[in-house]
Amino acid sequence: MARELPKFVEDVFISPPRYLLQEALRKQGVSTQATLKRDRKYLFIWNTSALFLITTVGTQLYTVSIEILADRSFGDLLEDPKLKFTSSSPLVGYLTTNFKEHYGGICGSFKTAHIGQIRPQSHIEALSFPWGSKVCIKRPYNRQQVNQSRTNLWRLPVSEELETINQELKCIPFASSLMQLVYAFISREVKKVGLPSFSIPQMRYVKAARGRIQPNGGAFLIEELIEAGFVKYTNNQASEPLPWLEGNDLRHAKFLCFAQHVQWEKTEQQVFISDFQGLS
């Protein structure tokens, strides 16, 4: 009989056990075929080539299924790092977007981003999702360099697109919970020594969801839209503010670097968040 590992009792005073962190990181690897089969439960795979060239299609209306990512604590994620959503089955809605029109005029290194709007098919009591508001729709892609002046972007096969979105969704609860850990640490210190002479930035991750186009099953990531004032605070190369920042942007970047230090120490030098960017 397999030995049951002891559970982690969540407490900001105690660093999580190293074995739980290592196991949680390991489980974020590539999903098994069984996981992919389960995640395809609500997909309707079309019988044609999975790859298609991104072409100008204009703004269109799509029927989509929506699964809103659940908020989770760091301790809960260490015990069970698998994806969890707020409801047991997807919600159905309508997405209006143009997958050819890139947000900001350019596409990212791995994903395209598009402004969209989603409304539910029927009345929904839960308001923890920006129904009817502008959202950011992100889809992964492959790049094919034709010549020096031309690059073709290709969508991934349906199963690969879903897996890529799942991998990104797995990271969001961990990052969000690591920021919660930082604020718990700050709260403890404030109780001990009092409030600092400066204001503490209040920052959080955007809400996110997984969407799937019906009936072909194309998957995409949905995030709250940051329309103005987007700032890149740090990058993946150094745990320090980017050199051109100033004013409040620099103050927020310094706070986020402090957050990295707390995360690194509290996880026994295993994990911290990098490449902070957004709006504050």
pLDDT tens, position by position, 153-211 = 787 888 888 999 999 999 999 999 999 999 999 999 999 999 888 899 999 898 999 99
The answer on pLDDT for 103 being more than 80 is no
Higher per-residue pLDDT: 103 or 235: 235
Look up residue 240 and give its DSSP letter.
S
% of residues, the chain, pLDDT over 70: 74
Task: Assess contact for 139 and 218: CB atoms under 8 A.
Answer: yes
Q: How confident is the model at residue 81 (pLDDT cuts 50, 70, 90)?
A: confident
* Beta strands in the chain, from DSSP E residues, in sequence order: 60-68, 91-97, 111-120, 134-147, 150-155, 208-214, 219-224, 231-232, 277-278
Flag the least confident range among 18-22, 136-140, 240-244: 18-22
pLDDT digits (tens, 9 = 90+) for 42-54: 333 222 223 333 3
Phi, psi of 167 (to 5 degrees): -60, -40
Please report, as a single letter, which amino acid is at residue 25: L
User: How buried is residue 52: exposed, middle or buried, by Cβ count under 10 Å (0-12/13-18/19+)?
Assistant: exposed
pLDDT on residue 126:
55
The answer on pLDDT for 18 being more than 90 is no
The answer on pLDDT for 34 being more than 60 is no
Q: Which residues contact 219 (CB under 8 A, 6 or more apart)?
A: 139, 158, 161, 162, 164, 165, 210, 211, 212, 213
Report how far residue 274's alpha carbon sits from residue 280's, in angstroms, rounded to the nearest whole number.
17
Distance from CA of residue 225 to its chain's centroid? 13
Query: Which residue in the block uniquely carries the two structure tokens 């950011």?
Result: 136
Domains of the chain with bracketed CATH: 48-227 (3.30.200.20)
pLDDT on residue 25:
64
The answer on pLDDT for 1 being more than 60 is no
- This model's pTM is above 0.85: no
What mean pLDDT value characterizes the chain? 78
pLDDT on residue 28:
57
